[in-house]
């Protein structure tokens, strides 16, 4: 629990498991809270394949013959499920974003509240860091990422501040970046703005939109008929992608039809509206605040 307090735990597991002897996938193992709850529900024949790209999560691995860990980005979903003879699976869960452990470990650089190197890599083997982004992206690239991933209307102004400051000396720590941006933050609402700015950098460093897109487009084929896809998203960009895939099987959200007018979507929605954490859960775990859970079931599209 000190590593990460799982969000919407019972709701997500209830929606995910349809066959206790089936094979399940936890794409975002983290502290293993969801994985443990899945294993508790599975019979001896059940199996769980869990992914995480952060080596720190290795500290939480579960000793259980039904559990297999994949130390990889979930964009490699198909490849590793095939390798583990778990393709197609009975259910896939993704609890997106970063863990509390990642945010609370100051030297990982995810938090604007603590001093640390501007790092923000979930996978510490990768080359691109937030320091590289902040010190080497040009004005157009920086303003675009603050505008698109951070939904900051003054993205350009933020980018210009960074560029002016780095001409003096490189920006290498979280609090250095905060002090550079401070004059452009709304008075009294600077925490909200900083959390969006840091979120934007994190999304860029980890290529979160690209890997989410890649993973989501593999899920329909990676599930058995009747198998469930359950995703917990924490911001609107993620949630929009999840919603479109579940509704239409593609990222545009437009349902394609065959010659006879039959919708060709690989999923049927299990949750009409996204589920959100209760007030009680938010009080005990404020980081659950922005969570949205959606679930869909794999179907075979009708043909004539
Ligand atoms: C919100 S936490 C999941 C917490 C987990 N459900 C639990 O109960 O402890 C997200 C985890 O997913 C991992 N992660 C995020 N994106 C990933 C990706 N593209 N590939 C593999 N792991 C990823 C992060 O490293 C982090 O440990």
β-sheet bridge partners, residue 177: none
The fraction of the chain above a pLDDT of 70, given in percent, is 99
Regarding whether 184 and 244 lie in a shared domain, the answer is: no
Q: Mutate which of 2, 30, 70, 235 to test ligand 1's pocket (most atoms within 8 Å of Cβ)?
A: 30
Q: What is the pTM of this model?
A: 0.97
Residue 120 lies in a domain: no
What is the pLDDT at residue 299?
Answer: 95
Regarding whether 273 and 253 lie in a shared domain, the answer is: yes
Residue 114 lies in a domain: no
For the domain that residue 61 is a member of, what is the CATH number? 3.40.50.150
Of all protein residues, the one whose alpha carbon is nearest to atom 14 of ligand 1 is 28
For ligand 1, what atom is nearest to the CA of residue 122?
25
How many A from CA of 110 to the centre of ligand 1?
A: 14
Regarding whether 245 and 164 lie in a shared domain, the answer is: no
Residue 35: Cβ within 10 Å count: 26
pLDDT digits (tens, 9 = 90+) for 207-245: 999 999 999 999 999 999 999 999 999 999 999 999 999
Question: What contacts 224, CB < 8 A, 6 or more positions away?
Answer: 22, 88, 89, 90, 298
Regarding whether 290 and 220 lie in a shared domain, the answer is: yes
For ligand 1, what atom is nearest to the CA of residue 28?
12
Please identify, among 205, 236, 255, the residue that sits at the C-terminal boundary of a domain: 205
Question: What contacts 259, CB < 8 A, 6 or more positions away?
Answer: none
What is the pLDDT at residue 300?
Answer: 84
Please identify, among 166, 185, 205, the residue that sits at the C-terminal boundary of a domain: 205
How many domains are there within the chain?
2
Regarding whether 177 and 137 lie in a shared domain, the answer is: yes
Q: What is the mean pLDDT of residues 159-172?
A: 98
Q: What is the mean pLDDT of residues 100-111?
A: 97
How many A from CA of 32 to the centre of ligand 1?
A: 9
Regarding whether 267 and 215 lie in a shared domain, the answer is: yes
What is the pLDDT at residue 174?
Answer: 98
How many A from CA of 182 to the centre of ligand 1?
A: 30
Regarding whether 294 and 172 lie in a shared domain, the answer is: no
Regarding whether 133 and 92 lie in a shared domain, the answer is: no
How many A from CA of 94 to the centre of ligand 1?
A: 8
Regarding whether 254 and 215 lie in a shared domain, the answer is: yes
Residue 177 lies in a domain: yes
Ligand 1, residues at Cβ distance < 6 Å? 4, 6, 28, 30-34, 51-54, 57, 73-74, 95, 97-99, 122, 211
pLDDT digits (tens, 9 = 90+) for 241-276: 999 999 999 999 999 999 999 988 999 999 999 999
Regarding whether 190 and 178 lie in a shared domain, the answer is: yes
Would you place residue 175 in the very low, low, confident or very high pLDDT band (cuts 50, 70, 90)?
very high
Residue 2 lies in a domain: no
What is the pLDDT at residue 189?
Answer: 87
For the domain that residue 198 is a member of, what is the CATH number? 1.10.150.170
Domain span at residue 165? 127-205
Regarding whether 172 and 250 lie in a shared domain, the answer is: no
Q: Mean pLDDT, the chain, as a whole number?
A: 96
How many A from CA of 133 to the centre of ligand 1?
A: 22
What is the pLDDT at residue 112?
Answer: 97
Regarding whether 32 and 176 lie in a shared domain, the answer is: no
How many A from CA of 84 to the centre of ligand 1?
A: 20
d(CA 182, CA 112): 11
Sheet holding 23-26, edge to edge: 67-70, 47-51, 23-26, 89-95, 223-233, 292-298, 267-269
pLDDT digits (tens, 9 = 90+) for 180-197: 999 999 988 899 999 999
Please identify, among 147, 170, 205, the residue that sits at the C-terminal boundary of a domain: 205
β-sheet bridge partners, residue 298: 267
């Amino acid at each position: 629990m000190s590593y990460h307090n799982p969000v919407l735990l019972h709701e997500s597991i209830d929606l995910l498991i349809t066959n206790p002897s089936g094979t399940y996938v936890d794409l975002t193992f983290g502290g293993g809270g969801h994985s443990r709850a899945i294993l508790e529900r599975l019979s001896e024949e059940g199996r769980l394949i869990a992914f995480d790209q952060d080596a720190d999560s290795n500290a939480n691995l579960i000793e259980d013959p039904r559990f297999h860990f994949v130390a990889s980005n979930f964009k490699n979903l198909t490849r590793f499920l095939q390798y583990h003879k778990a393709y197609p699976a009975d259910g896939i869960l993704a609890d997106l974003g970063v863990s509390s452990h990642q945010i609370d470990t100051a030297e990982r650089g995810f938090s604007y509240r603590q001093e640390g190197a501007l790092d923000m890599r979930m996978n510490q083997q990768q080359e691109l860091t937030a320091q590289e982004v902040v010190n080497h992206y040009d004005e157009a690239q920086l303003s675009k990422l603050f505008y698109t991933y951070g939904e900051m209307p003054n993205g350009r102004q933020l980018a210009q501040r960074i560029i002016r400051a780095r001409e003096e000396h490189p920006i290498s720590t979280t609090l250095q970046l905060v002090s550079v941006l401070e004059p452009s933050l709304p008075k009294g609402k600077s925490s909200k703005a900083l959390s969006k700015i840091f979120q934007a950098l994190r999304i860029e460093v980890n290529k979160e939109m690209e890997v989410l897109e890649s993973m989501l487009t593999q899920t329909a084929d990676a599930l058995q008929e009747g198998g469930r896809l359950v995703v917990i998203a924490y911001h609107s960009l993620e949630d929009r992608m999840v919603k479109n895939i579940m509704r239409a099987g593609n990222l545009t959200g437009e349902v394609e039809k065959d010659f006879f007018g039959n919708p060709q979507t690989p999923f049927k929605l299990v949750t009409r509206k996204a589920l959100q954490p209760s007030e009680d859960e938010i009080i005990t775990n404020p980081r659950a605040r922005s969570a949205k859970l959606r679930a869909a079931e794999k179907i075979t599209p009708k043909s004539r």
